[in-house]
Amino acid sequence: MLRYMTAGESHGPRLLAIVEGMPSHLTVDVQKIDEALARRQKGYGRGKRMMIEQDRIEILSGVRHGYTTGAPITLSVMNRDFQSWEKVMSVYPPDDPEAGQRRRTRPRPGHADLSGAIKYGHRDVRDVLERSSARETAMRVAAGALAKQLLEAVGIDVVSHVRALGGIVSTVSVDMLSPQEIMGRSEASPVRVLDPDAEARIIEKIDAAKSGGDTLGGVVEVIAYGVPVGLGSHVQWDRKLDANIAQALMSIQAIKGVAFGDGFELASRLGSEAHDPIYYEAGRGYYRKTNRAGGFEGGMTTGMPIVVQAAMKPIPTLYSPLPSVDLLTKEAGGASVERSDVTAVPAAAVVAEFVLAFELARALLETFPADRIEQLVHYVEEHRRYTERF
């Protein structure tokens, strides 16, 4: 089973991930992982933290001479900002418990602060916010960047873009664009949208929100091309791949909704307008002319591109804070303020891209168990031939 676990705090010394189950002999391009981490840090509306951190991956185990060995892979990213937080985040008891601890006792509405404090008995929500911070997604991107290299070996491409930000919708359709065109246009935009007109209006809205001490949310879309038919299964609820992907995307900080294909729009259509008719052509096999289902039927991939959207709420840290209550005094006041972004929707698109990549890699290895990458490539190629002649 391919899986990973992350560890570390936002202002701790470093972030870590352990990836287990990666086949051996996969060529690992460290530069691609660094490029993925850099993409996550970009985007108009990001805060000053991104000017401090220049994330670079350090691989501590599981890779030798540029190849995976089959052993667990340990990934590490250093937090450069830790030098300013060393005493605050020290593992040792402080000499003066009252000095320079940067305590936060007024939880932010919309954040993990209050529920986490109650659950774990903390009177300082820093013990919650340091781990619940979206800084943790750096390691999900790193793990996903490894997985993406596995997907590339079997001909699967995963790309992302922003469909909407602050209520402004990009009207450019991806149906007539190649994965390379989507990636190129998305990367060229400071807000990762494909629509230049929407881009200009979004930037204006971000500036207005920043002036008002407010934040903005949006919708990101991730598309996977070249996914073979039959990943996932209909036979048990926890083997449905779209459900597993939805869970993974929902676990990204601030994501509040996930939809595949035409998503919630399908609920208002007639059945004749909601599904994807099936066609057959010798040498090509079964195919569809539409992809309203977003690449899934019955919890399994159909062979069409996987299209999934995730809705991100506005960031809960506001420079014009909402009302809250002090955990110690129970007095009303404004919520605590941490250094934050006006919007992280462009970054969320990148995070979602690599989270989806990892889930697809996991599903591939469940369907085609392989200890070596050449085995996996062989199994997938044979499955594609089987699908074409079925």
Output Rg (C-alpha) for the chain, integer angstroms: 22
The amino acid at residue 35 is: E
Q: Which two tokens stand for residue 357?
A: 């990549």
Nearest to 192 by CA among 210, 208, 206: 206
Residue 336 counted as an annotated binding residue = no
Residue 133 counted as an annotated binding residue = yes
Q: Which residues contact 187 (CB under 8 A, 6 or more apart)?
A: 39
Q: What DSSP line would sit under 81-117, residue for residue? A: GGGGTTTTT-SSPPSSTTSS-----SPPTTSSHHHHH
Residue 316 counted as an annotated binding residue = yes
Residue 313 counted as an annotated binding residue = yes
Residue 253 counted as an annotated binding residue = yes
Task: Report how far apart, in Å, the C-alpha atoms of 328 and of each of 103, 117, 123, 125, 165 are.
Answer: 11, 12, 7, 11, 37
The CB-side HSE value for 114 (13 A sphere, CA atoms) comes to 14
DSSP code of residue 27: B
Residue 314 counted as an annotated binding residue = yes
Residue 243 counted as an annotated binding residue = no
- 261 neighbors 291 (Cβ within 8 angstroms): yes
Instruction: Check residue 365 and give left, alpha or beta (phi > 0: left; psi -120 to 50: alpha).
Output: alpha
Residue 339 counted as an annotated binding residue = yes
Strands 63-64 and 67-68 turn out to be antiparallel
Residue 131 counted as an annotated binding residue = yes
Binding-site sequence positions for FMN: 131-133, 253-254, 298, 313-317, 339
Known binding residues are 40, 46, 131-133, 253-254, 298, 313-317, 339
**Annotated binding-site positions for NADP(+):** 40, 46
